[in-house]
Amino acid sequence: MTPVPDAILKALPSPCEAVIETHISWVLLAGEYAYKVKKPVVLPFLDYATLEKRQKYCEEELKLNRRFAPELYLGVVTLAGEPAVLMRRFEEEKRLDRLCQRGALTEQPLLAFARHLAEMETRMPAAEPQTPYGEPETILSAALANFDELEQIRPDLAPRLSPLKRWTNREGTERFADFRRRKALGYIREGHGDLHLANLMLLEERIIPFDAIEFSVEFRTIDVANEIAFLLLDLLEHRQAGLASIFLSEWLAWSGDFEALVVLRFYLVYRAMVRAKIAALQANQERTESYLALAETLTSPSAPTLTITFGPSGCGKTYLSGHRLLRARTLDCIRIRSDVERKRLYGLPPNAASGGTIYTPAATRRTYARLAEFAELALTHGWSVIVDAAFLRRNERLAFRHLAQRLGIPFAILAPVAEVTEMAQRLAARQGDASEATVEILKQQLSYLEPLTEEEKAAAQPL
C-alpha cells in the first residue's frame, strides 16, 4: 500500500474521512464528494508516469463515465497540482456486489438495467474494420494468455488448467467465423470495459455503472456479449443463477442479439479465468477455486431442452416462464417471447404500441417462424429455451415438437390455467408489458383455441 501524499490530503476542501486504494489510484472520501487521484505508476497495460498523462486520463475518465453516470461524475479538479476526478459520493453498501452478499438484489432493477444497457449499446461507437479490436486471433490469444499467467502464479493448478485451456483453444478456434461476423455486424463496441458488480450501484432503484476503463481503448472496445459476461459471471459467483438468467433473457429481448449466444459461453469462461488469475495474484485461494469451478461448470453445460407455453392471454405464461428462469441453478436457459419478437419483425421496440395492426394471421405465421429460428440457434449452441407464446393451434405446437425431435432434445409444455374472469382482470390491469392483448382479444382466442391432445398432455410439465 502506498500512502497518499500529505499535500493532496491538505488540499481537500473537507477533511479526508477514508481512502480506498487500488494498485493504480486513491479514492479520497471527503464530505459529500469522492476524489479519484491516479498514482504515478507504469504497468504493462497503462502509463500514468507524467502529470500530463494523469491529466489526460482524468479527463478521459470523466468523459467516458458521464455516458453512464452523469449524476456521479462532476468534473476534474486539481489538488496540490495533481489532477483528480471529482465524483458525488455514494454509499458503498449500494454497490451490487454488496447487495448480492446480503441477498438484497432483486429482479426488477436488473430487468430495467438490461433494457437500459441494450439501448445504450446501440449508441456506443462500433470498432472500425481496420482495427484489431474483436479480431479472432486477438480474442483467442488474450484468452489463452490467462492460462499461462495463472500457471506461473499457481504451478500446482496445472493439471486442472489443462482441460480448461484445451476447451478454450478448441471453442475459440471454432468461433473464428462467428467472431468475424460479429465485428462485421457492429457488435464490437466501445463500452464500459469492466462491468462487474462492484462497478454497479443502485440509486433510487436504478442500476448505474461507474468506473469505466479509461486507460485502454482495447480493454473497453469489446463484443457486447463480452461486456455482459462480466455481470453474468459475477451473479453466478454470488450463486444468483436465477438473476443471471432473467437478466440475460431481458437483454436478449431488448437487444435482439440472439447470435450473442453463439459466443457468450466462450466469453463467460474467459471472464472466469481472468477473475481466477486476479484472485490468485491476491493469494485468495477460496475465490480462485470458486472461479475455476465456475469455468468448469460453464464448459460442461447440461443437455439443452425445448419448452413451449400454452394458453390464452392472461393465463400466466409469462409469469410462470419468468419464475422458471428465476429458479434456475445454472445459467443455461433463455426465454423468447412472441409479443417481443412480433414487434421486432415490424421494427418496433418491446414496449411500443402497435395499435393492433401487427396481429394478423400472416403476422402470426411470421412470428412463429422467427421464434423457431431463434430457438434453433440457441438450442444448437447448447442453450435450453422456453418459448413464451400462446400456441393455441395444434400445428403451431407440432412445428416446435418436430424441431425438438429433429435436434434430438427433450420437449415439454407449460400450460398454466386460470378462470376466464381472472384472465380478463389481469389483462385489464396490465401495464408496461410487451403484450397488447385485451379482453376482446381474449374472447377471440377462446373461440379458436385447440386444446392439448392426450399426447401433448403427456409432455406437459407440472406448474
Q: What does the angle CA 163 – CA 266 – CA 377 come to, to the nearest 5 degrees?
A: 125
CATH topology of domain 6-89: Phosphorylase Kinase; domain 1 (3.30.200)
Beta bridge partners of 27: 20, 36
Q: Give the integer Cα–Cα distance in Å for 318 and 314.
A: 9
* C-alpha span between 348 and 261 (Å, rounded): 22
What are the angstrom distances between the C-alpha of 375 and each of 251, 264, 337, 344, 399?
16, 16, 11, 16, 12
- Look at strands 46-47 and 42-43 and give their pairing: antiparallel
Fold topology of 306-459: Rossmann fold (3.40.50)
Closest-CA residue to 34 (of 53, 19, 23): 19
Give whole-number Cα distances, 211 to 3, 78, 206, in Å.
22, 19, 16
* pLDDT level of residue 463 (50, 70, 90 thresholds): low
CA 202, 203, 205, 207 torsion: positive or negative?
A: negative
All three cell numbers of 119, joined, read 439501448
Long-range contacts at 260-263 (CB < 8 A, ≥ 24 apart): 260/187, 260/223, 260/224, 260/225, 260/228, 261/334, 261/377, 261/378, 261/381, 261/383, 262/175, 262/178, 262/377, 262/381, 263/175, 263/178, 263/179, 263/182, 263/223, 263/225, 263/226
Q: Residue holding cell 493504480?
A: 24
| pLDDT, position 440 | 84
The answer to whether 199 and 210 are in contact (CB under 8 A) is yes
For residue 197, what is the DSSP state?
G
**What is the CA angle 298-304-305, rounded to 5?**
145
Whether the pLDDT of residue 356 is over 80: the answer is no
Cβ within 8 Å of residue 331, ≥6 positions away: 232, 236, 241, 244, 245, 248, 268, 298
The superfamily CATH assigns to domain 93-299 is: Aminoglycoside phosphotransferase (APH), C-terminal lobe (3.90.1200.10)
Indicate if the pLDDT at residue 462 is higher than 80. no
Q: What is the CA radius of gyration of the chain?
A: 25
Give the pLDDT band of residue 437 (cuts 50, 70, 90).
confident
- Separation of alpha carbons 449 and 326, rounded Å: 29
> How confident is residue 45, by pLDDT bands cut at 50, 70 and 90?
confident
Q: Is the pLDDT of residue 416 over 90?
A: yes
pLDDT higher for 424 or 84? 84
For residue 309, report the phi and psi dihedrals to the nearest 5 degrees.
-100, 165
Instruction: Give one word for 337, left, alpha or beta, with left for phi > 0 and alpha for psi -120 to 50.
Output: beta
Q: Where are the beta strands (DSSP E) in 200-357?
A: 200-203, 206-209, 221-223, 306-309, 333-337
Positive or negative: CA dihedral 300, 305, 306, 311:
negative
Distance (Å, rounded) from C-alpha 345 to C-alpha 183?
A: 23
In tens, the pLDDT along 295-338 reads 999 999 999 999 999 999 989 999 999 999 999 999 999 999 99
Given a cut of 80, is residue 444 above it in pLDDT?
yes
Residues 6 or more apart in contact with residue 395 via CB below 8 angstroms? none
Q: pLDDT-based confidence at 93, cuts 50/70/90?
A: very high
User: Are 258 and 374 within 8 A, CB to CB?
Assistant: yes
Start-end of H helices in 259-336: 260-281, 285-299, 317-326
Whether 407 has a pLDDT exceeding 80, the answer reads: yes
The full set of domain ranges for the chain reads 6-89, 93-299, 306-459
The pLDDT value recorded for residue 434 is 77
Q: Distance of CA 401 to CAs 190, 258, 336, 413, 427, Å?
A: 41, 21, 16, 10, 29
Quick one: pLDDT at residue 441?
84
**Which is it for the CA torsion 213, 84, 201, 1, positive or negative?**
positive
The 3-state DSSP composition of the chain as helix, strand, coil percent (nearest 5) reads 55, 15, 30
pLDDT at 363 over 80: yes
pLDDT at 246 over 80: yes
Q: Mean pLDDT, the chain, as a whole number? A: 94
Please identify which residue in the block is written with the cell numbers 437487444: 255
The H or E element containing residue 228 is: helix 224-237
Question: In the predicted model, what is the mean pLDDT of residues 138-149?
Answer: 95
Side-chain-facing half-sphere of 167: CA atoms under 13 Å: 19
